[in-house]
Amino acid sequence: MEIPAEYLKELEQFRGVVPAQIASRIETLLRTYEKLDKESLNICAAKRVVSPAVNRLIPSRSLEGLISRPTHRSHGGLRYFHVMSLVAKQLAEKLFNARFAECRLPSGCGAISVALYSLTNLRANVMALPREYTTHSAHPSLREQGYGGFRGLQITDIPLTEDRLNVDVDAMAEVAKKVKPSLIITGSHVMLFPEPIAEIRKIADDIGAKMMYDGAHVLGLIAGRKFQDPLKDGVDLLVGSTHKTLSGPQGGIILTNKDEMIERLEPKMTGSRMHSVVSAGYVAGLAVTLAEWLEFGEEFADQVVRNAKALGKAMDKEGFHLFGKDKGYTESHTVVAEISTLVKGDEGLTLLEGAGIMAATYNLWWEPASKRGCLRMGTTIPTRYGMKESEMKEIARFLRRTLIDREAPENVRRDVLDFKSRFTEIEYCFK
């Protein structure tokens, strides 16, 4: 494994130290990381900030809860954990208009593993979005590199439209007739626009396939009624992460309205094959997060999407090439710009970090993996700190100064820190 040069300097402080010195040096690194995260302008689409009420509960990591039926009493004290779990379950079902919710999962990828285990046989034929990075692609955990590979699934790509921003329904129908998959998986980790779920449902019904939607990145927008509702449109399972747009503690969730799915899921979650433990602090924090969404979610989600559209428009005016421009840039929290003509490889991230801006870069479908010519941004964190459309114009100017004008990153950083210092209170939550 080749270690990046900028990491080597930090690793030097651990060279030759005795074990007793490790704790203090690790703590120093952690505090530095926390300070960087606090002071930086974070526009990573996959990141969030939790509310103070939720943050107080998360540190209860030493308390574990057994994933079992609430009536299962083999471990003393579990009734407190089970009550919190049941509250979270009921809140999730109400928030998402679902008949069944399973909230006791360690991650979105964990939710995907349970979903694939429940929906597929070994080596089953399935259709999923392409794996290569595009503006509409499947998360690696769904493909051969992840749980799809563990199940030995035979995966066929879902065709995309010419602009690669969405599913090509007509082309997909033709492929599905030939492949006859038992499962169709949609939902992207780079999703600018809603998918034609109702039309895909018809394709699935024609060939007798189940449908699963990966809502990890847009789960909060679904909860806030600002994105498509996959359950309403007929998917069998909606899976997702609780720590992206939903802005909760790190974990996963599975939702369904289908009796058959409930019957498949419950034994697998509570039986010996999925016997596990999760943090009681996570379950408690998620319950409060869901309550906050019932109270503030629609307003929050609406502003997130408004800000994303405003950021796309502002970046366009500043000279960036934005995907989805002719469609209004985005209908989600995500904005995607091509920067392959501006930077090479990890240079974009290095420049942005130097300017106090946290974002994400990756390669586009026509690029080699090392080029990383695409900039993915999100407005969840800026919105949570109370920023609105006018602030998106300022963020776009910071990005232009850093990536187009190539102004010294330390100069931009001073202005970014001053800008960020105006927004310190977390909004859309219980005070």
Taking the C-alpha atoms of residue 282 and residue 242, their distance in angstroms, rounded to an integer, is: 10
Please give the average per-residue pLDDT across 117-121, as a whole number.
90
pLDDT of 69 > 70? The answer is no
pLDDT of res. 14: 84
pLDDT of res. 207: 97
Share of the chain above pLDDT 90, in %: 61
CATH class of 54-291: alpha beta
pLDDT of 369 > 80? The answer is no
- In the sheet that holds 252-256, the strands lie side by side as 100-105, 252-256, 237-241, 210-214, 183-186, 125-128, 154-157
Estimate to the nearest angstrom the gap between the alpha carbon of 110 and the chain centroid. 13
Please report, for the chain, the start and end positions of each structural domain, with discontinuous segments joined by +. Answer: 54-291
The encoded tokens of residue 102 equal 């399973």
In terms of Cα–Cα distance, which of 208, 239, 200 is closest to 124?
A: 208
Regarding predicted confidence, which is higher, 405 or 72?
405
The encoded tokens of residue 154 equal 């035979």
pLDDT of res. 273: 42
pLDDT of res. 174: 97
Alpha helices in 120-218 (DSSP H): 147-150, 169-179, 197-207
3-state class (DSSP) for residue 248: coil
What average pLDDT does the chain have? 88
Give residue-wise pLDDT tens across range 332-358: 999 999 998 998 878 999 999 999 999
The pairing of beta strand 154-157 with beta strand 210-214: unpaired
- Work out the burial of residue 242: count CB atoms within 10 Å of its CB; fewer than 13 is exposed, 13-18 middle, 19 or more buried: buried
Give residue-wise pLDDT tens across range 159-195: 999 989 999 999 999 999 999 999 999 999 889 999 9
Please give the average per-residue pLDDT across 94-120, as a whole number.
91
Please give the average per-residue pLDDT across 277-305, as a whole number.
92
The encoded tokens of residue 247 equal 């802005």
